[in-house]
Structure 1
């Protein structure tokens, strides 16, 4: 296997131009991950629930800090900069911490599915189980918030070969599980119009703080440089910047002020930036550019055919 055939190749600089509303150059969205990690989760044969032997009191407590303290601090910071979130939600949080969900909904934030628990992986699920997770996500979030979710980020970034086809079948508009581009791009699925939404690992605080142990001020500088470059490129065709966040990391007292300097820098370019939710960005591309992108691929002879993960099933 050389290519899972998830999307067609189309060079960044030679595509149909994307224009954001009001002529904005860059679409900016924030993705707070509101998650629940079970103290002693069921064992998955392909991946342990915790890096250390379970039950992991330290790991659990660190993540619980995000739900008890960090999310409230992050919401207040985003309020100060008049920014909404698109919440990557472990939907069990609607039962465990409904106060957080209510506070986000009152602010007009979007919700999208990040599975039920971040310790329940998609690996080894059969189709019925995976459908149950998707249907539970739709039903639970709608009951708690009135929203019909349109986005999906697989729990702990774990998938099966059918995941993308299934979420497209259930009329999801975007997936955050692919990291191949700085513009929304079509994903090959059997049905629907599913987009790959830019969701960066490079500026994800799990990577910058959790793996790279960045200084908070260096992280703020990375965010500013990421933004400046994407804004410049957006002069030619609209780009997207996402900052994925985890409140147990970014909302630590010694880190928050540095993060807010990055938000202030981005906010200062408000005449050039569309501050949106992921659903709004996906809806704009689906409504205005889906056909143009597909026609462009046809004209260039770049379409390879098939659907997502076709190559994975080849002998």
Structure 2
């Protein structure tokens, strides 16, 4: 028997109250920057599956490890150049392993979202009490390191349990990114919780993994913005750009990220912001469930 989806209701985008962004912007744009830690003895995101089950897997682990060692610093320069504050999807283990990245983000006032402990372990297979303990540890670790409790959540691999949103609400979080099914925020059937758009389509990991070239990536970013702006005649839209430093931070892709960010930053109808600010504005201006 099929389980009913009790987390959120069906709501066609054509039948909602209009959203107005600050400054009469048409499209709210944020960069979701995945800052992750991977375990050396666990299979995870791989560029070549042939060695993925080996311990150690030098090929794939090294590819991922390029991100915190090199890629993130190249991406950081591009974000700085175009005045973009990242919305950082942060594995809490990063706090222990890469403190220099935390320091750089604090200097730039990045928004910090909880992204589980490590992207080598999916957020699943726990009892409610076990999950509460894990989420509490993740949130408290990030809060202590950044001086700010995270407001948003995205699970490793966009994973949740049926209890996750309610447990996050207990911890004071207000939104999740895992349900990539909309171009606008919307309320969940969990008091105080909303969904904010994220993307597995406009995502460097998926795009470049399918053979997309740098110029094609820039064109895709432009096409996404142009269509969302056209859609926003009566109500604002959200555009998420999902980035991974071990992918977009590769040297031969750097200039294409720069071109994409330059394009977005130059659009007169864009609100270049963070997922935190999108969620806060939506919660403050739209009717919410209580």
TM-score scaled by structure 1?
0.86
2:220 is aligned, of 216, 219, 222, to 222
Aligned to 1:95: 96
User: Aligned runs of 1:151-162 on 2, under 5 Å?
Assistant: 151-162=152-163
Q: Which moved more, 1:28-37 or 1:140-149?
A: 140-149
Q: Residue 280 of structure 2: which of 279, 283, 293 is its match?
A: 283
In the alignment, structure 1 residue 75 sits paired with structure 2 residue 76: yes
Deviation at 1:5, TM superposition (A): 2.6
Number of residue pairs matched by the alignment: 283
What corresponds to 1:209 in structure 2? 208
Aligned partner of 2:64 in structure 1 is: 63
Residues of 2 paired with 1:247 and 1:175: CA distance? Answer: 22
Deviation at 1:84, TM superposition (A): 0.5
Hey, what's the Cα distance between the residues in 1 that align with 2:93 and 2:60? 18
* Larger mean Cα displacement after TM superposition, 8-17 or 70-79: 8-17
Q: Is the 8 A contact 1:119 1:156 kept in 2?
A: no
Q: 1:249 to 1:111 in 2, by over 3 A?
A: same
SS of equivalent residue, structure 1 residue 290: coil
Q: Which residue of 2 aligns with 1:33?
A: 34
Cα deviation for residue 208 of structure 1 reads 0.3
Q: How does 1:242-281 map to 2 (within 5 A)?
A: 242-269=240-267, 271-281=268-278
The answer on whether the counterparts of 2:78 and 2:257 sit within 8 Å (CA) in structure 1 is no
Given the alignment of the two structures, is residue 54 of structure 1 paired with residue 54 of structure 2, yes or no?
Answer: yes
Would you say the 8 A contact 2:175–2:193 is kept in 1? yes
- Calculate the TM-score normalised by the size of structure 2: 0.93
- Residues 32, 246 of structure 1: 8 Å contact kept: yes
Deviations 1:89-108 (A, max 9, x none): 00110110000011011101
Give the CA RMSD over aligned residues. 1.6
Q: Residues 290 and 137 from structure 1, CA distance in 2 versus in 1: closer, same or farther, beyond 3 angstroms?
A: farther
Structure 2 CA distance for aligned equivalents of residues 156 and 132 of structure 1: 20
Q: Residues 220-266 of structure 1, C-alpha deviation per residue, up to 9 Å, x if partnerless?
A: 11111001111122231010001010011011111111121111111
In structure 2, stretches of 5+ residues that fail to align are none
Q: 2:129, 2:98 → 1: CA distance? A: 27
How far apart are residue 168 of structure 1 and its match? 2.1
The whole-number CA distance in structure 2 between the counterparts of 1:119 and 1:257 is 29
Q: Which residue of 2 aligns with 1:44?
A: none
1:281: how far off?
A: 0.7
Q: CA deviation at 1:2?
A: 6.0
1:17-61 CA-partner distances (Å, limit 9, x unpaired): 1001111111110011000110013xxxxxx54652132221111
Where structure 1 has 5 or more consecutive residues not aligned to the other structure, the ranges are 42-47, 296-315
